[in-house]
Amino acid sequence: MAVGAVAAAGGAGGSANGAPAALAIEGLSWRVGGLSIVDGVSLSVARGEFVAVIGPNGAGKTSLFNLVSGLRRATGGRVRLGGTDVTRLPVHRRARLGLGRTFQSSSVFGSLSVAENVRLAVQAHRGGSMRAWPRPAADRAVAGVADEILAQVLLAARRGDPAGTLAHGEKRKLEIALLLAGEPTVLLLDEPMAGVSAADVPALVEVIRSLTATRGRSVLMVEHHMDVVLDLADRVAVMHHGALLICDTPAAVMADPTVQEAYLGEEL
């Protein structure tokens, strides 16, 4: 649940207590070759809040994520992280400011163990700040952090297994672990349930739920599985033809006739 006030539906900017939103998307647009793919989207995510983005195929959800993470350059509007304007910053600078997007599977080393993968990610993130530490102490600290992360993503039992042997659902947990190694304050999850077997969904949902439970982390998640969205989200943002249709509580969104219309002919 959101720390402090729950931000106003769809509004950008700060929360009611005056603190800047963890993530503020303000009139964000992306035009390509005369086509408006993302059309003036304004949406804010409060500290500790979980917002899901849904919409029919081709609505612009992934494109919105690409603009927020910096993979694509917006043609209009702004993105702010904790009040800092990051609109013109490249991916790695946004990451350094606390924005994390799930790693693609290609960043998992299949022949290394699950624990080694997480240790490498922790090392990559903290290495510089530990340079003055004696080697054994630094190694122990990295291993300790990696173990904590593995416990949080419910992968402790698989810590010694080669990452390449993980099932889809477990691989998603490992990708989340690698993301957590970067100590993000805002996490972008793009279809975390894609390809995950029905049996593995509940455990993965619990891992994702735990992300906002500590440290005031915020999550923005694109997901097609409505049961997962309704279970996890504080608010649901609906995109249609590149624009934001509504951003409100799951109950209000489900009851909204314009949402039903946008999904006409598709499963909601």
Buried b (16+ CB within 10 A) or exposed e, 81-92: bbeeebbebeee
Q: Which residues pair with 236 in a beta bridge?
A: 52, 248
Under 8 Å between Cβ of 127 and 176: no
Using CB under 6 A as the binding rule, the residues of this chain from 115 to 144 that contact ligand ATP are none
Q: Is 195 in the site for ligand ATP (CB under 6 A)?
A: no
User: Smallest gap, in angstroms, from Cβ of residue 63 to ligand ATP?
Assistant: 3
Q: Which of 18, 34, 57, 104 binds ligand ATP (CB under 6 A)?
A: 57
User: Smallest gap, in angstroms, from Cβ of residue 39 to ligand ATP?
Assistant: 11
Kindly indicate which of the ranges 13-21, 55-63, 154-162, 204-212 contains the residues binding ligand ATP, using the contact rule CB under 6 A: 55-63
Q: Which residues pair with 247 in a beta bridge?
A: 237
User: Smallest gap, in angstroms, from Cβ of residue 232 to ligand ATP?
Assistant: 18
- CA-angle at 220, arms to 91 and 110, nearest 5°: 60
Of 24 and 37, CB closest to ligand ATP: 37
Q: Which of 3, 22, 24, 37 binds ligand ATP (CB under 6 A)?
A: 37
Q: Which of 15, 44, 63, 117 binds ligand ATP (CB under 6 A)?
A: 63
User: Smallest gap, in angstroms, from Cβ of residue 31 to ligand ATP?
Assistant: 10
Q: Is 194 in the site for ligand ATP (CB under 6 A)?
A: no
User: Smallest gap, in angstroms, from Cβ of residue 157 to ligand ATP?
Assistant: 33
User: Smallest gap, in angstroms, from Cβ of residue 225 to ligand ATP?
Assistant: 12
Q: Is 98 in the site for ligand ATP (CB under 6 A)?
A: no
For the chain, the distance separating the N- and C-terminal CA atoms, rounded to the nearest angstrom, is: 24
Q: Is 55 in the site for ligand ATP (CB under 6 A)?
A: yes
Q: Which of 27, 58, 164, 195 binds ligand ATP (CB under 6 A)?
A: 58
User: Smallest gap, in angstroms, from Cβ of residue 268 to ligand ATP?
Assistant: 13
Distance, CA of 165 to CA of 162 (rounded, Å): 6
Distance, CA of 243 to CA of 236 (rounded, Å): 14
Q: Can you read off the two tokens belonging to residue 228? A: 């997962």
Q: Can you read off the two tokens belonging to residue 202? A: 């509940």
Long-range contacts of 119-128, Cβ-Cβ distance < 8 Å, separation of 24 or more: 119/143, 119/146, 121/146, 121/177, 121/178, 121/181, 121/182, 122/146, 122/149, 122/181, 124/181, 125/181, 125/182, 125/183
Give whole-number Cα distances, 195 to 171, 191, 192, in Å.
11, 9, 9
Q: Is 185 in the site for ligand ATP (CB under 6 A)?
A: no
Please give the size of the binding site for ligand ATP, defined by CB under 6 A: 10
Q: Is 225 in the site for ligand ATP (CB under 6 A)?
A: no
Q: Which of 32, 137, 157, 194 binds ligand ATP (CB under 6 A)?
A: 32
- CA-angle at 46, arms to 80 and 215, nearest 5°: 105
User: Smallest gap, in angstroms, from Cβ of residue 242 to ligand ATP?
Assistant: 7
Q: Which residues bind ligand ATP (CB under 6 A)?
A: 32, 37, 55, 57-63
